[in-house]
Structure 1
Amino acid sequence: MKSSLVISITSFFTNYLPNIVGYSENTVKSYRDTFVLLFKFADEHHLCPRGRIVIDIFNKENILQFLEWLETDRNASVSTRNQRLAALKSFSKYASSNLIEYINTFQQILDIKLKKGTSKTVDYLTVDAVSLLLKQPTSDTHDGIRDLALLSLLYESGCRVQEIIDIQFGNISLKKPATITVIGKGRKVRIIPISSNVAAIISAYTAKYKITGSQQFLFTNKHGEPLTRSGVSYILQKNTDIAKKQHPELFGPKIHPHVLRHSKAMHLLESGVNLIYIRDFLGHSSVTTTEIYAKSNPEIKRKFLEEAAFNIDGIVNKFSDKEKQTLLDWLKKNI
């Protein structure tokens, strides 16, 4: 018979995370990886009989040693260490309500503080860099039109990589005003306006690839399967490498898909869009009267976003260093 601890762990992953708090599949997998690593650590350090899960594993001192092991033995960053601790705290909060006899054990885990690390800088591309990047895919080839559609939409929408991967043809409306519907973290749905230029690229791409079914994934590999994160990264890096040969000063040493999300946020700010609308656009809005107003009145959000729609040949307005730093600080904290 399974122990109450094992039953709680199973319920935590199969019901609580996906159904009660609505965490995404990727977040659930990240939490799962934390537990896999914890049990690996417990086996290696003989904290429990091999292959068994016992409450002793969750002793505060063991958890602290586990966190140090992540950094020293597995070369994890402070950020990764804190993410693993966040997963354990989430379970401890859940277990405190379901395993009353162990409430003191889990409360001690909840009392563990996050470790402070050096501040991360936010990577983003200038307007010139994005413009050059989007000129690299050749739209007259099969792969080229797909790459152009992917990179254009990734930047235009400010979507997370997984949100782009999950987009199906039925999530797109190419009639004016064009929009895409995405499901973000916490399964929150948001409707994002896209420019007529990007809508035309998507239209040409779907016509060339004969994408017509509402449940067809928008971006697929040569096997007809949805693109993976590594697939998206490969396409971005491939085109970045070409652009970098022309103007190496525009690109940093490492480019990843999230850079386009950061870049979109920065360019919206440069164009005069208020942070409230940027936060709503990215799917990280807080509960304030103004943001609720923006959400409940799509035309207001559309007005600001369409006025700031990226124009490859356009001129970007100047913005203050203080405004720029405000967004950078917010991005580091929330994205």
Structure 2
Amino acid sequence: MNSLLTDPTEFAGLLQNFFVDRLLQQKNVSPQTIKAYRDTFRLLLNYAERQKGKPPTKLTLNDFDATLILDFLGHLETERHNTVRSRNARFAAIRAFAKYISLQCPPALQLVQQILAIPMKRFEKPLIGFLSREEVQVLLAAPDNGTWYGRRDRIMFALLYNTGARVSEMISIRVADVTLGVTSSLRLHGKGRKQRTVPLWKETTAEIRDWVKYAELAPENPLVPTRSGGRPMTRTNVAERLALAVTKATNARA
């Protein structure tokens, strides 16, 4: 048995170098990708500790095999109730690490080949529904404009409607990303460090201008912050606020 496959320091070094050298220095991936990969390996290491009966500091390349990965993917779906899409995203991070191992540690090539032979799981892509203009207007009017939360939520929904931004793009918008003037626009930061600029309607421009003044936001602040500390909202926060607005809008039309 090759000592590289049974030495915990070899596995730990490869994992550290994968993040520091491969992802950050060589590929210069986005902070969102780093966070997603970090969360994947946090879950995987915790799962491996329970299954193997040893802490992450004692794990070896021999422990990082196809059986562990298959069981982990099943755990994501059955116990954590992840969707197939989420399961595949986690697996993509693991595959990237496996390919890195194959280049840095040839004795582990057979282990890597078995991991890479695991297929991504197919899934049905649901049809995307849509709201009529009247329904959108009812939703935009649902938040209470007399409260801080209501005004924040109105801006949030207006941005999503006006720009077609993903939620992850919307919550990352800083005040400095907004240009208000005769022709107003907004800079969005997408996946893979991609940026794009989209125009803003007059109504959206007016609401943003009033909101920034009302909330006393500085250029470096998130445009749609949390109430305490001025931190960016999370996707969970947005989903919760949207659910509340939908319930209110539905009751108003009933």
TM-score normalised by structure 2 residue count = 0.84
What's the counterpart of residue 226 of structure 2? 221
Letter in 2 for 1:182: L
Give, in whole Å, the separation in 1 of the partners of 2:28 and 2:128: 28
Selected match of 1:135 from 133, 141, 149 = 141
What's the counterpart of residue 43 of structure 2? 37
| Unaligned stretches of 5+ residues in structure 1 | 249-335
Give, in whole Å, the separation in 1 of the partners of 2:171 and 2:139: 20
Are positions 1:62 and 2:62 aligned together?
no
Give, in whole Å, the separation in 2 of the partners of 1:7 and 1:123: 47
Letter in 1 for 2:84: V
Give, in whole Å, the separation in 1 of the partners of 2:132 and 2:199: 22
Selected match of 1:149 from 134, 155, 164 = 155
Q: Percent identity?
A: 29
Letter in 2 for 1:63: I
Give, in whole Å, the separation in 1 of the partners of 2:118 and 2:36: 20
What's the counterpart of residue 72 of structure 1? 78
What's the counterpart of residue 4 of structure 2? none
CA contact (8 A) 2:224 2:233 kept: no
RMSD over equivalenced CA pairs, Å? 2.5
CA contact (8 A) 2:8 2:59 kept: no
Gap change, CA 1:123 and 1:99, over 3 Å in 2: farther
What's the counterpart of residue 99 of structure 1? 105
What's the counterpart of residue 170 of structure 1? 176
What's the counterpart of residue 186 of structure 2? 180
The alpha-carbon deviation at position 54 of structure 1 amounts to 0.6
Give, in whole Å, the separation in 1 of the partners of 2:179 and 2:118: 47
The alpha-carbon deviation at position 89 of structure 1 amounts to 0.7
Which deviates the most, 35-44 or 171-180?
35-44
The alpha-carbon deviation at position 86 of structure 1 amounts to 1.2
Give, in whole Å, the separation in 1 of the partners of 2:148 and 2:76: 44
Give secondary structure in 2 for the equivalent of 1:76: coil
Gap change, CA 1:68 and 1:169, over 3 Å in 2: closer
Task: Say how many residue pairs are matched.
Answer: 246
Give, in whole Å, the separation in 1 of the partners of 2:152 and 2:189: 22
Give secondary structure in 2 for the equivalent of 1:170: helix
Give secondary structure in 1 for the equivalent of 2:197: strand
Gap change, CA 1:142 and 1:44, over 3 Å in 2: closer
CA contact (8 A) 2:187 2:195 kept: yes
CA contact (8 A) 1:165 1:226 kept: no
Are positions 1:208 and 2:185 aligned together?
no
- What are the within-5 Å matches in structure 2 for residues 217-296 of structure 1? 217-229=222-234, 230-247=236-253
The alpha-carbon deviation at position 123 of structure 1 amounts to 4.3
What's the counterpart of residue 17 of structure 2? 11
Give secondary structure in 1 for the equivalent of 2:63: helix
Give, in whole Å, the separation in 2 of the partners of 1:144 and 1:70: 36
Give, in whole Å, the separation in 1 of the partners of 2:28 and 2:14: 18
| Unaligned stretches of 5+ residues in structure 2 | 1-6
CA contact (8 A) 2:163 2:200 kept: yes
Gap change, CA 1:67 and 1:123, over 3 Å in 2: same
Gap change, CA 1:70 and 1:215, over 3 Å in 2: closer
Selected match of 1:160 from 155, 166, 190 = 166
